[in-house]
Amino acid sequence: MGSLSFPIDLSDLQTKLNPFFQTIIASPAVQSAKPSSTADGVAILVFLLSALGYLTRGRVWDKPDPHHGIWFERPQLEGGASSGRIAATRDVAQKLVEGNHHCVIFWGSQSGTSERLAETLGRECLSHFGINALVADISDYDAESISKIQATHFAIFILSTYGEGDPSDNTAGLWEYLKQVMDKRTSLGNLRYLAFGLGNSNYKYYNRVLDIVVNALNSAGATALMLPQKADDANGGTEEDFQVWKDDTFGLFRQLGFQQRIVEYHPSIQVSFGDGVESGSDPSHTTSLVHHQTSSQSAIVPLAIRNAYELFAAGNRNCLHMELDLGNHDIVYKTGDHIGIWPCNPEEEIERLLRVLGAHEMRHEVFSVRSNHDSIKPKIPSPTTLETAFRHHLEICAPVARKTVQDIAQFAPTPEAKAKLFEIGQSRERYKNLASTTHITLARLLELASASTPWTSLPLAFVIENLLPLQPRYYSISSSSVIAPRRIAITVLVVNKAISGNATSSTIHGLTSNYLLSTSCVSSNAAAPIPSYQRTNESQGLQGSKILAHIRKSKFKLPITSSTPLILISAGTGFAPFRAFLQERAKLHAIGKSVGKILLFFGCRNVDDFIYQEELNRIQEELGEKLKIVTAFSRTGAKMYVQDRVGEHSPEVLELLENGANMYICGKASMAREVDMKLEDAVGKARGLGEASVKAWADSLKKRGKWKADVWG
């Protein structure tokens, strides 16, 4: 270890302290208190050392760090004339004035969609109307400062609702502030605002965040410049709903006196080929720019497939059981967690897009992407190639928004193609009808408008800007970390949705489920051909195949006490986490631990779709009376859904809840919503409760973690 040094002259310190100690020693109290023992001498020494420490604090030790405040500065810093660095204000009203902004666009986002829409709106406000909008993460500003926004400005709120009507994490500050506004009757009389909500009507509390925020703002005297509108992602309508709201918003801007401009395309990114990188190289694609390792998400790692087999006994669909080996990777999972699978796009769609763009010759040429604005985040890594970008980084199989159809028209290779795109894009109803009968990806749209002439005039920057970044798809882990700590099992329903028009028919293939099917070596049961995907280590078969994935923590956990009763309600692949739960409880029972009663509801089409049936029968034999299984088959005999079975057995469910059971629901959001309704209706009738009391009963169970749901749209 190095020696300690003091930035002070010790001889000078001694000179200053000598008179002090001489005064103490000469005092009558000290003179009369002669040390009569070793203990007294030690006590006097300790007293003197303590006095020395007190007097030298801040001079010799524990000196204040003059740069300590830097640790608390936010990274958004502005240049200053004198200091060179000034911390960005958390007062949004002050920021609006200082930045000469007309408005602020607040976004509250959990998955990134609201953020993306807010950034899009901000860019178009400037390009179409010259409106300088501050696009802001709500958590970057003190919610209280919203009350300071003057009537010369206005605010736009784009807010997502997820889960059980919950706000996004970054909206928590606004959420708490608005509660205070309602309690204290704070006035927001100067605030003018617009609001747009993102949600899914399959969920019970559809767009609840928007409703509560709007109600609080209106109650506090704020002025809504336009009625709030909602996006519904139940049928993939978010983009179209946003476009309709944005059209209405632009109409409002015109009424407020802003002049709309004719906008030419100005790319927000620069695409440069070459850049000193050897042509023909294929840069690594094993990481994604949209994923960040956090306390709740692991790093992305390649996982080897160790086992895969078909779960359906018959029929024209596939349901896979797949096991992935964590190997030597420094990541772990817990029972109930999720796994994010990073797919690649099918070869047919990559070829289709390259062909229609006339870009086959340049598929392996290396290029880089640079943003023209600090606020624009890159979607793809640099350097890369077109083939790599289209295979691993961009959602080329996603449907195209109507707004994109209108924007593409300016680059049409022929007048006929331009007219056709305008015809499709200008009518919401026409576009909706087309989307319901045709899988409108970017490549298919370009083919539809001009099948014979390639779109060589369509800038690559435009293509990258208008394609979404490829995102992971999440699956509930169907293995127990207690039973198989280094091997993850997933249960995957392979989706192939047939759509048909007046003269044509096509299939929308589930991207990730078909990707996993292709890597599994399991034969497809689908009547139509399935897509083909590039595989790693083709020659080595299943054992050599790897997929990219990461682990996401979940709150969908078993109670710590194994004697706590369980109510498990699932349909289809919603059974996946319950397989892990049951395995864990069976193991505890086998080693002599006390296990609470388990009531399992499982629904599917028919007995051929009864996944893990043999395994479930073995667990039933092991647990005996501790496990009761109630099935619901929707296509065998009388049509019966799992929510109907829950209604039939509601007295038993309520009794278990009364006795401290934990209830878990996993499956589609529409199923979970109907289960909620069945139970709320049952408890209302059984106890003679009104609607408000029933809601309070359900909310109490959910807040205490006794009623949990893991559902999807």
Domains of the chain: 92-256 (3.40.50.360), 297-342+472-554 (2.40.30.10), 344-470 (1.20.990.10), 566-711 (3.40.50.80)
pLDDT band with cut points at 50, 70 and 90 for residue 5: very low
Q: What is the CA radius of gyration of the chain?
A: 32
Overall average pLDDT of the 221-225 stretch: 95
Say what the pLDDT of residue 10 is: 42
- C-alpha span between 555 and 175 (Å, rounded): 22
Please tell me whether the peptide bond between 383 and the residue prior to it is cis, using omega within 30 degrees of 0.
yes
Read off the pLDDT of residues 650-697 as tens digits, 9 standing for 90 and up: 999 999 999 999 999 999 989 999 999 999 999 999 999 999 999 999
How confident is the model at residue 686, as a pLDDT?
95
Contact 530, 320 (CB under 8 A): no
Integer Cα distance of 181 and 178 in angstroms? 5
Task: With cut-offs at 50, 70 and 90, classify the pLDDT of residue 601.
Answer: very high
Statement: residue 22 has pLDDT above 90: no
Check pLDDT > 70 for residue 632. Answer: yes
Residue at token pair 């086959």? 360
Average pLDDT on 70-93 reads 48
| Res 529 pLDDT > 70 | yes
Give the pLDDT band (50/70/90) at residue 7. very low
pLDDT value of position 281: 42
Break the chain down into helix, strand, coil percent, rounded to 5: 40, 20, 40
Each residue's pLDDT tens digit, 556-576: 999 999 999 999 999 999 999
Banded model confidence at residue 283, pLDDT cuts 50, 70, 90? very low
Beta bridge partners, 368, equal 272
* CA–CA–CA angle 370, 373, 375 (5° rounding): 110
Q: Tell me the average pLDDT of the chain.
A: 85
pLDDT in tens, 463-501: 999 998 998 999 999 999 999 999 999 999 999 988 876
How confident is the model over 371-401, as pLDDT tens digits? 887 667 788 998 999 999 999 999 999 988 8
Mean pLDDT, residues 151-162 taken together? 94
What is the SS3 assignment for 230? strand
pTM of the predicted model as reported, rounded to 2 decimal places? 0.76
Q: Are 341 and 549 in contact (CB under 8 A)?
A: yes
pLDDT the model gives residue 367: 95
Helix (H) or strand (E) holding 475: strand 473-476
